[in-house]
Amino acid sequence: MSERDDAHAFLLASDPAMAALAAAHGPVDPYVWADVPPVGGPDDLFGGLALGIVAQQISTAAMLAIFGRLRTLLGGTITPEGVAELSQEQLLSVGLSHAKARTLHQLAEAVLSGAFDPGALRELSDEEAERALVTLRGIGPWSAQMFLLHELRRPDVFPAGDVALRGGLAALLDLPLVPSIEETRERASVWAPYRSYAAAHLWRGLGEVR
């Protein structure tokens, strides 16, 4: 059986609420970011990390618009060399905030200097990779976890700080209030080692409710 089949069988045998959602959706691919086209090839980790930075605290539509303008400004491909050559004013011109522009520029410089190697994250555990990412300025737990999920394709990542994901959990369990990050993390523990798949079902379920 494939990882996806194993994950689907596991969630079908989990708690009734998730089992019902998994049965309704069928097997899912948790590594595809809904409504977001692929950034590049499987080795384009810098572009994936740049996308996560752009995505912080804005809507998917705004993220796609800003990221598209950034990619156009760079001639179609987002590379550390290209980003490092851009001025702060050029980065701001595509719609980035001052903080995000600074984060992208410093990330590019760190990659070019060898101070940070995105490819080396593949050899680390989930916990080690997240710790390495959050040491970078402007990269918090949410950005790190989304990178692990969508770019490193890890099967057991659950970004409990994601507002939509917490909303999906509230909808699934018919809760009167959106659970806290800690409550969400604790509730999701029952879906390990396939929490990435559980997250995909919750995001999809919330979209269907909307």
Closest CA to 74 of 30, 105, 113, 114: 105
Helix, coil or strand: residue 44: coil
Q: Which H helix or E strand runs over 187?
A: helix 181-188
Catalytic site residue 174?
A: no
d(CA 73, CA 70): 5
Closest CA to 157 of 118, 100, 208, 202: 202
- The single residue of 44, 126, 156, 162 carrying the catalytic annotation is 162
Q: Which residues are catalytic?
A: 162
